[in-house]
Homo-oligomer: A and B are copies of this chain.
Amino acid sequence: MPIDLSHDPAVSELAKRTAEFVRGVVVPEEKAYGGVTARGGDEMRVRLQQAARDAGVFVPHVSPEYGGHGLDMRGRAPVFEEAGYSLFGPLALNIAAPDEGNMHMLEAIATAEQKERYLRPLATGEVRSCFAMTEPAPGAGSDPSSLRTRAEKAPGGWRIDGRKWFITGADGAAYAICMARTSGEPGDRGGATMFLVDADNPGMKIVRHVETLDESLYGGHCEMVFDGCVVSEEAVLGEVDKGFDYAQVRLGPARTTHCMRWLGIARHAQDIAVARAADRRLFGSRLAELGMIQAMIADNEIDIAASRALTLQACWELDQGRSGAQSTAVAKTFTAEAVWRVVDRSLQICGSLGVSGDILLSRFLREVRPFRIYDGPSETHRWAIARRVVRRHLG
Name A residues whose Cβ lies closer than 8 Å to a Cβ of B: 1-8, 11, 34, 72, 74-75, 134, 137-138, 141-143, 165-166, 187, 210-214, 221, 270-271, 274-275, 277-278, 280-284, 288, 290-295, 297-302, 305-306, 309-310, 312-313, 315-316, 319-320, 326-327, 330, 333-334, 347-348, 351-358, 362, 365-366, 369-370, 372-374, 377-379, 381-383, 385-387, 389-390, 393-394
Residues on B with beta carbons closer than 8 Å to the beta carbon of A333? 298, 302
Q: Is the CB of A2 within 8 A of B138?
A: no
Please, which residues of chain B bring their CB within 8 A of the CB of A369? 347, 355, 362, 365
User: Which of A3, A4, A138, A365 lies at the interface centre, i.e. has the most chain B CB atoms within 10 A of its CB?
Assistant: A3
Q: Besides A141-B351, A277-B390, A301-B330, 6 other CB < 8 A contacts?
A: A3-B7, A210-B357, A213-B362, A270-B389, A275-B393, A295-B382
Closest chain B residue to A354 by CB distance?
Answer: B373
Contact call A306/B334, Cβ cutoff below 8 A: yes
Contacts of A72 in B (CB 8 A): 2
Partner of A393, one of B34, B274, B313, B316: B274
- A5 with B313: in contact, given A354-B373, A389-B274 (CB under 8 Å)? yes
Taking a contact as CB atoms under 8 Å apart, the answer to whether B353 and A294 are in contact is no
Cα A122 to Cα B166 with chains together (Å)? 45
Please state if A316 and B3 are interface contacts (CB–CB under 8 Å). yes
Taking a contact as CB atoms under 8 Å apart, the answer to whether B355 and A316 are in contact is no
A340→B281 CA distance, assembly (Å) = 27
CA distance A210 to B352 in the complex (A): 10
Measured between beta carbons, the chain B residues less than 8 angstroms from A357 are: 210-212
- Could you tell me if B348 and A379 are in contact, using CB atoms closer than 8 angstroms? yes
Q: Are A282 and B330 in contact (CB under 8 A)?
A: no
Is B74's CB under 8 angstroms from A3's CB?
A: yes
Cα–Cα distance between A216 and B302 once the two chains are bound (Å): 29
Let me know if B293 and A379 touch, CB within 8 A: yes
Q: Please, how many angstroms separate the alpha-carbon atoms of A316 and B382 in the complex?
A: 30
Could you say which of B295, B312, B370 contacts A5, with CB atoms under 8 Å apart?
A: B312
Query: Cβ of B278 and Cβ of A394 under 8 Å apart?
Result: yes
Q: How far is the CB of A173 from chain B (nearest CB, A)?
A: 19
State how many angstroms separate the Cβ of A330 from the closest Cβ of chain B.
Answer: 5
